[in-house]
Chains A and B, each alone.
Chain A
Amino acid sequence: DVKVTQSSRYLVKRTGEKVFLECVQDMDHENMFWYRQDPGLGLRLIYFSYDVKMKEKGDIPEGYSVSREKKERFSLILESASTNQTSMYLCASSSGGVETQYFGPGTRLLVL
């Protein structure tokens, strides 16, 4: 079975802090994704990556950056957390040849 893990289920940070969210997948997938989920808005894509050291902006990249130094790991970085970044963050991965996306359990981030 595909396994996608995220470093924290719940996280509380202060405004202005630098926040790292880590995602690891164990199926050698080429593609990895970061989404945020907010009530009434569904899932919105922040960034995605097709390969190591490669990244593409999604629909809402402002205020975020990403890092993919190894194929299995994709990190989301909030350079200076703000209260409007309080949300549920979901990581996903997929193989280049198979389209199904597999999701991690999510991280609920609260920025105070």
Chain B
Amino acid sequence: GIQVEQSPPDLILQEGANSTLRCNFSDSVNNLQWFHQNPWGQLINLFYIPSGTKQNGRLSATTVATERYSLLYISSSQTTDSGVYFCAVRTGANSKLTFGKGITLSVRP
């Protein structure tokens, strides 16, 4: 099956810093989503982005499908950005997503 690798596995930032999170995948995809899991376990969908670029406030994401990677940018990080960021992809016609192992982000005040 498809492989999803996220890097770096852990990231520590000072509040106000910018960061880039990367997701590489091993096959063509027709669905790619970024999620944030807060310290209480709730997963929130950040972006549905199988290709192209999207922005939502301080967050933006770019997927280059032909090169099989996606990037999540966090600007002016805040302590509330802490948590685990997951990339998930889908190949084929069904709705099954394959998740990466996640990137743990800690933003310090």
Question: A-B contact count, CB below 8 Å?
Answer: 55
B97 and A101 contact, CB distance less than 8 A: yes
Residues of B close to A35: CB separation below 8 A: 99
Contacts A88-B41, A101-B33, A102-B45 given; does A42 touch B102 at CB 8 Å: yes
Number of B residues with CB within 8 Å of any CB on chain A: 22
Q: Who on chain A is nearest to B102 by CB?
A: A42
CB distance from B91 to the nearest CB of A (A): 13
Cβ–Cβ < 8 Å partners of A43 in chain B: 86, 88, 99
In the complex the two chains form, what is the Cα distance from A49 to B104 in whole Å?
A: 30
Q: Are A106 and B94 in contact, with the CB atoms below 8 A?
A: no
- Across the interface, which residues of B come within 8 angstroms of A96, CB to CB? 95
Q: A42-B86, A90-B43 are in contact. Are A99 and B96 (CB under 8 A)?
A: no
A58 contact from B40, B96, B100, Cβ within 8 A: B96
Main secondary structure of the interface of A (DSSP, over half): strand
Q: Give 19 A-B pairs besides A99-B31, A101-B88, A103-B42 with Cβ atoms closer than 8 angstroms.
A: A41-B101, A42-B86, A42-B100, A50-B94, A56-B94, A92-B43, A99-B33, A99-B48, A100-B33, A100-B45, A101-B45, A102-B45, A103-B35, A103-B43, A103-B44, A103-B45, A105-B41, A106-B42, A106-B43
Chain B residues within 8 Å of A, Cβ to Cβ = 31, 33, 35, 40-45, 48, 86, 88, 90, 94-102
